[in-house]
Amino acid sequence: MEETPKQQYSNREKNDIFNLEFLPHINSMYNFAFRLTLDRDDAKDLVQDTYLKAYRFIESFQKGTNAKAWLFRILKNSFINDYRKKTKEPSKVDYQEVEAYYNSEEVDRQITPDLRVESLKDMIGDEISNALNSLDVDFRTVIILCDLEGFKYEEMAKILDIPIGTVRSRLHRARNLLKEKLSAYAKLMGYKNTEL
């Protein structure tokens, strides 16, 4: 939890905060949990754990501040502590490599010149969703936070406990990996279409 001065709330105030500031984000929270765990039951458990924790720690939350970022942070920490261990997913990301990549000349290189807007528009099934889900969880996370939920660099840095520079480089790398994935799907679709 963040180091904020403890608030004092009556039970009624607690319930108001919970109902009016926390619950409205539950669909986003469920979507985030599902994209992290890739399992609907785990996602339900994770959302439930998060909301129970949020209620338990409600006095660390200052009324009227950014509830969504606070909740996302709790959810992400619960995921790391309880679920990542369970699924034993190894972290495949070498951040030093990422930073080195970002600082190199390679950044401006176009990785997927063959991917076209038209082929993306043809992806009417689950291709986009599958491509996102196939990314390593750390890359998946920044795309969800930025592109699906519209969080700012500063909010993402707080949610993920990483510096803003790392948020930027991770997003940049994540976008390129996603494009590589989509490019592979597009090629597959192209082959299929010419066979017909």
Partner 1 sequence: MTNRNNPFLLANGKKPTCMEMLQLILDGEANHEQHEYFRSHMDQCMPCFKTYSLDMTIKELLKEKCCKDTVPAELIEQIKLQISQNTPS
Contacts with partner 1 by CB under 8 A lie at 11, 14, 18, 23, 26-31, 34-35, 44, 47-48, 51-52, 55, 107-108, 110, 115-117, 120-121, 123, 126, 128-129, 132, 143-144, 146-148, 150, 152-153, 168, 171-172, 175, 178-179, 182
Q: Which of 133, 110, 131, 143 is nearest to 186 (CA)?
A: 131
Residue with smaller CB distance to partner 1, 100 or 196:
100
Shortest distance in whole angstroms from residue 88 CB to partner 1: 25
Residues 6+ apart with CB under 8 A from 178: 131, 132, 135, 139, 143
Residue with smaller CB distance to partner 1, 150 or 190:
150
Give the long-range contacts of residues 159-164, CB within 8 A, separation 24 or more: 159/69, 159/72, 159/73, 159/76, 160/76
Residue with smaller CB distance to partner 1, 29 or 76:
29
Q: H-helix or E-strand containing 7?
A: none
Residues 6+ apart with CB under 8 A from 155: 66, 69, 145
Residue with smaller CB distance to partner 1, 46 or 73:
46
Shortest distance in whole angstroms from residue 144 CB to partner 1: 8
CB 166 within 8 A of CB 99: yes
Shortest distance in whole angstroms from residue 101 CB to partner 1: 12
Residue with smaller CB distance to partner 1, 2 or 114:
114
CB 173 within 8 A of CB 98: yes
Residue with smaller CB distance to partner 1, 85 or 102:
102
The string of DSSP letters for 18-33 reads IIIIIGGGHHHHHHHH
Shortest distance in whole angstroms from residue 195 CB to partner 1: 25
